[in-house]
Structure 1
């Protein structure tokens, strides 16, 4: 199985480098806006522009990639992303940064599609789970590590953006030198929202709520830390703790959801999110913020894959690909809309407003999940699909996710135990 990850090492190194720069840049922009006196609503607007670009890019990029090839497209979009990281140093105007973040989102979406479609093509049927896990580790490790670059960027105002551009630019090297041939990218044909909701109301609501919550956190989490009086290094640690916590709890929650009615696990996860977000909303002691932040990350990050798994429980293999892609899209829409409300909440009640808004979102999911438990029958245990830890990137991961889940199901079926 290790050979499966080694065979795509150039792709994994590329995503690790790019997410190191991208994760750092996202937090850096929030901190720079916060420290320059920009309001929470302006920070939210910049965040919304990024997720808007990510959503549109995931729909439009496949045509460009198919026309010019993976290596050329990857190099072009990474270069564009690196260039915008430098342009921030030339124009210190938040309104213009909205446009730059939209371009960032477009670029990142295209890069994700390049790498994810490549992984789909290179992974064999029996190794897709390993490849997906390696991709997730590289993605989140880069994102968490990027936060720590904030500790290396004191001094000249332009220096932090120069640092952000370095790992983004370096991401081109393993792809430019690879001997892998690029596959054809299949354009995504999403399931209609009405059909998606009809198939799984709770899965759809959970995916949207997850997008709203994590989009709000990624956009305004650093501003929350700074407004609590955290130093830049403490804010970086807080962001890293939430991301690492998000990875740590996904697997145990997934195992529980495979053994019990998945709706109960979603109810417990949403209830835990309510408690964690209320604590973060009302308590400002740093000793409390870190562990509760890790708990919030673990629960909120798990909500999306739990929602996908619950939706897949209601579908056959033919329908899971379109549904998974559709869930990623509505997650992205939620991530684009959530920061705007979070910004209003922070302006109204202070830094805790971010997590009070997330408490409202969690409470909504909790109430809806309880209602679905009362009004609908659970999926029989033998019909539940295996839980899969999933990236929330672009619809290009849907094929890899569904194939990896099918691989797990086949292995379970062949197990004599």
Structure 2
């Protein structure tokens, strides 16, 4: 394993630092807007801007990177993100923050395309699975660890934004000093959403629902925790545990989906998310109970996207899968753009429980659609199913990394 990972150590260090510096910003911004008395609708709109920038960036940044090279493009994207982090501390206006979040999303899309292209170039057929797994670990570990930087803002409100900018700037160093050859971006052939739906209705609808559910959580999860009376340190712990739960359960659920009808595992995850959301929306919980259920929510909800990708791949030929990944990323992004606004309406109507009532409703809809597809279509034989592979919800470049077969 170490032999496989050693050539990409600089990239893994960069992604860990980047996620530690940027992954907690969505939580921090939601917390600050909540403390300033902004409505759930305004907080949801600011979050939607980030996902909108991420979606547009994943579709547009490849040409920019190709024109100037990976190192220069990576430096530009990270510098813009770092400058944006400092601007939050200077201008405290929701309208400005909405624009900054859109810029953040666009810049992060460029970062992901750069790093995932590099990983793809460095991976061999025998090391791809290991590199993808360590990439996932670095990404989610950085995101989870960064949540605890929220605690630094209790006595110095501007300090977390400054720390974010510092970490993002340090993340430049491994890439700027690397001796690795710059990669060539592999063009992903377009694959229409309509064609993808015809091949795998549950794959595309499940991905759309998952994007809406997780977009809603990332936008308003911290607001929910604050409004039920938990403090900033508990907000950080709650968000970190949700992310950690998502990492822990992905592979066990993936293994189950390889052995049984994958649609049944997908449906079970949707139902589990709906049940957890019902408890969180309807019952008064202690901080320990909230954090425990949050971890379980992350475990089942984070598994949905890679399960949807694997289910879609079961119905596609090898040469169609990479192109289909762009349609799945687009579907996830569209859902993530819509999710914060759906949840903000729920919270505006029902108060704090409205967040998980909204997410739970989306999960029920996903489960009902999945059950219908289970009845309407025969399952793929277990021996014909593609092996589950945990994937980040970033750009189609991650699918390029995952796509090569292991040698027989």
Query: By how many angstroms is 1:402 displaced?
Result: 1.7
Q: Which residue pairs with 1:49 in the alignment?
A: 49
The 5-angstrom pairing of residues 5-404 of structure 1 reads: 5-285=5-285, 286-403=287-404
How far apart in 2 are the matches of 1:299 and 1:154?
A: 32
Query: By how many angstroms is 1:346 displaced?
Result: 0.6
How far apart in 1 are the matches of 2:284 and 2:75?
A: 43
How far apart in 2 are the matches of 1:283 and 1:313?
A: 39
Is contact 2:344–2:355 with CA below 8 Å preserved after alignment?
Answer: yes
- DSSP-derived class of the 2:379 partner: coil
Is contact 1:63–1:187 with CA below 8 Å preserved after alignment?
Answer: no
CA RMSD of superposed structures (Å): 1.0
How far apart in 2 are the matches of 1:338 and 1:138?
A: 26
How far apart in 1 are the matches of 2:186 and 2:133?
A: 22
Is contact 1:208–1:334 with CA below 8 Å preserved after alignment?
Answer: yes
How many residue pairs get aligned? The number is: 407
Query: By how many angstroms is 1:188 displaced?
Result: 3.3
Gaps of 5+ in 1: none
Query: By how many angstroms is 1:186 displaced?
Result: 3.0
How far apart in 2 are the matches of 1:367 and 1:292?
A: 23
Query: By how many angstroms is 1:160 displaced?
Result: 1.9
How far apart in 2 are the matches of 1:88 and 1:290?
A: 28
- DSSP-derived class of the 2:89 partner: coil
- DSSP-derived class of the 2:180 partner: coil
Scaled by the length of structure 1, what TM-score is found? 0.96
- DSSP-derived class of the 1:8 partner: helix
How far apart in 2 are the matches of 1:100 and 1:187?
A: 29
Gaps of 5+ in 2: none
How far apart in 2 are the matches of 1:392 and 1:136?
A: 10
Deviation readout 1:116-168 (Å, 9 max, x if unpaired): 00100111111000010010000000000000111223223322211111111
Query: By how many angstroms is 1:279 displaced?
Result: 1.0
Query: By how many angstroms is 1:325 displaced?
Result: 2.2
Is contact 1:276–1:296 with CA below 8 Å preserved after alignment?
Answer: yes
How far apart in 1 are the matches of 2:18 and 2:158?
A: 20
Scaled by the length of structure 2, what TM-score is found? 0.98
Is contact 1:59–1:188 with CA below 8 Å preserved after alignment?
Answer: no
Is contact 1:62–1:186 with CA below 8 Å preserved after alignment?
Answer: no
Is contact 2:152–2:159 with CA below 8 Å preserved after alignment?
Answer: no
- DSSP-derived class of the 1:209 partner: helix
Query: By how many angstroms is 1:330 displaced?
Result: 1.0
How far apart in 2 are the matches of 1:325 and 1:125?
A: 22
Query: By how many angstroms is 1:3 displaced?
Result: 1.2
Query: By how many angstroms is 1:80 displaced?
Result: 0.3
How far apart in 1 are the matches of 2:369 and 2:356?
A: 20
Query: By how many angstroms is 1:25 displaced?
Result: 1.4
Deviation readout 1:341-387 (Å, 9 max, x if unpaired): 10111111011101000111110011011111111100011210000
How far apart in 1 are the matches of 2:35 and 2:153?
A: 15
- DSSP-derived class of the 2:24 partner: helix
How far apart in 2 are the matches of 1:51 and 1:141?
A: 21
- DSSP-derived class of the 1:7 partner: helix
- DSSP-derived class of the 2:145 partner: helix
Is contact 2:215–2:339 with CA below 8 Å preserved after alignment?
Answer: yes
Query: By how many angstroms is 1:233 displaced?
Result: 0.2
